[in-house]
């Protein structure tokens, strides 16, 4: 459902569904019931200033009956957010799409404690594109190639590509070497992820996830892996490597959930969305976008003594 309020400061208006009935006579009574313990005067002032609207942009007042609207929209009061010490780099921009390198620690979209400090809101403000929408998502801790739609008129054509799995994605990860494992191999299992539980879980049943894993090169007991997901479940790549006993370096979730701690910007999760490719639905031409970022721990391990996936000594592939 399209919001009757425009994007403001890079953030969409919040939509609230009102109950069909209840002990509240007005929409304001219901909002005071929900949030009156936080800022009752602020809620009443918003009604007085005409900042709360219903379907079609109809302005609500203090006396608007509860059942006059099913949905209402309003702007949240944005809390102060300390700017994360990471930057977004633009890889490509045209009249239809924007492709960027998202850094580690920056979420794709607003959520939880990160609203203004999200890739979406930062880019809307930086580029003055209020209609900017991500075509897919990367976990907050994952860096790499992220695609946005800049044009509502052509957005659906790109959405279809993702819905029909016509987009090829390539990731890189740094994880331990296990000589008992052979590569390349494909991991398939059934995963579930509840909104109320932090971790994704592997359960019995028909597989709904698939990832091809290839070992590219080794250094000092660690390896650089190429990951090609054929499905897109939350935390899929992290769970699949952990299920093999080679959890991604600096992963605070898998295989063991660590106690919550402040972000350590010197130890990012060693997972990178290296590239994305597809046939552009507008031009009809194949396109590929590659990240310019590198996984920091691979460079730290050093090139000396690197061996490629065949076990031959050499300088290895560039990091």
Q: How far apart are CA 156 and CA 149, in angstroms?
A: 9
CB atoms within 10 A of CB 300: 12
pTM for this entry: 0.87
Q: How far is CA 26 from CA 18, 61, 68, 234, in A?
A: 10, 9, 9, 40
> Distances in Å between the alpha carbon of 234 and those of 166, 210, 238, 289?
19, 12, 9, 22
DSSP letter, residue 105: T
**Spatial distance between the Cα atoms of 118 and 132, rounded to a whole number of angstroms:** 13
Q: What's the pLDDT at 260?
A: 81
Please give the average pLDDT of every successive group of 10 residues along the chain, which has 319 residues: 91 94 95 90 94 94 95 90 96 98 97 92 97 96 98 97 96 97 96 85 94 95 97 94 96 89 93 98 97 93 57 39
Q: What is the pLDDT of residue 53?
A: 96
Q: Which residue has the tokens 């709904």?
A: 208
3-state SS, residue 54 = strand
């Amino acid at each position: 459902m399209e919001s009757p309020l425009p994007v403001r400061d890079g953030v969409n208006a919040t939509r609230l569904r009102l109950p069909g009935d209840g002990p509240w006579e007005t929409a304001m009574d219901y909002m005071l019931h929900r949030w009156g313990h936080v800022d009752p005067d602020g809620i009443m002032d918003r009604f007085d200033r005409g900042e709360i609207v219903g379907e079609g942009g109809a302005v609500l007042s203090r006396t608007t009956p509860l059942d006059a609207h099913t949905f209402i929209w309003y702007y949240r009061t944005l809390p102060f957010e300390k700017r994360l010490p990471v930057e977004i780099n633009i890889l490509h921009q045209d009249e239809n799409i924007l492709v960027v390198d998202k850094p580690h620690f920056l979420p794709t979209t607003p959520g939880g404690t990160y609203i203004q400090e999200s890739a979406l809101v930062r880019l809307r403000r930086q580029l003055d594109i209020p209609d900017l929408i991500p075509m897919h998502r990367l976990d907050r801790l994952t860096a790499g190639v992220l695609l946005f739609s800049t044009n509502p008129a052509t957005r659906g054509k790109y959405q279809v590509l993702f819905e029909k799995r016509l987009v090829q994605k390539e990731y890189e990860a740094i994880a331990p070497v296990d000589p008992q494992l052979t590569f390349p191999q494909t991991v398939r299992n059934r995963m579930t992820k509840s909104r109320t539980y932090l971790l994704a879980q592997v359960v019995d049943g028909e597989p709904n996830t698939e990832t091809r894993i290839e070992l590219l090169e080794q250094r000092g007991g660690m390896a650089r892996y190429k990951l090609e997901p054929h499905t897109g479940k939350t935390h899929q790549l992290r769970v699949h490597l952990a299920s093999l006993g080679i959890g991604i370096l600096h992963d605070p979730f898998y295989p063991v959930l660590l106690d919550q701690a402040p972000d350590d910007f010197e130890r990012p999760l060693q997972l990178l969305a290296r590239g994305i490719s597809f046939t552009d639905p507008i031009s009809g031409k194949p396109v590929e976008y590659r990240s310019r970022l590198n996984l920091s721990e691979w460079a730290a391990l050093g090139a000396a003594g690197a061996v490629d996936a065949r076990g031959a000594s050499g300088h290895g592939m560039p990091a």
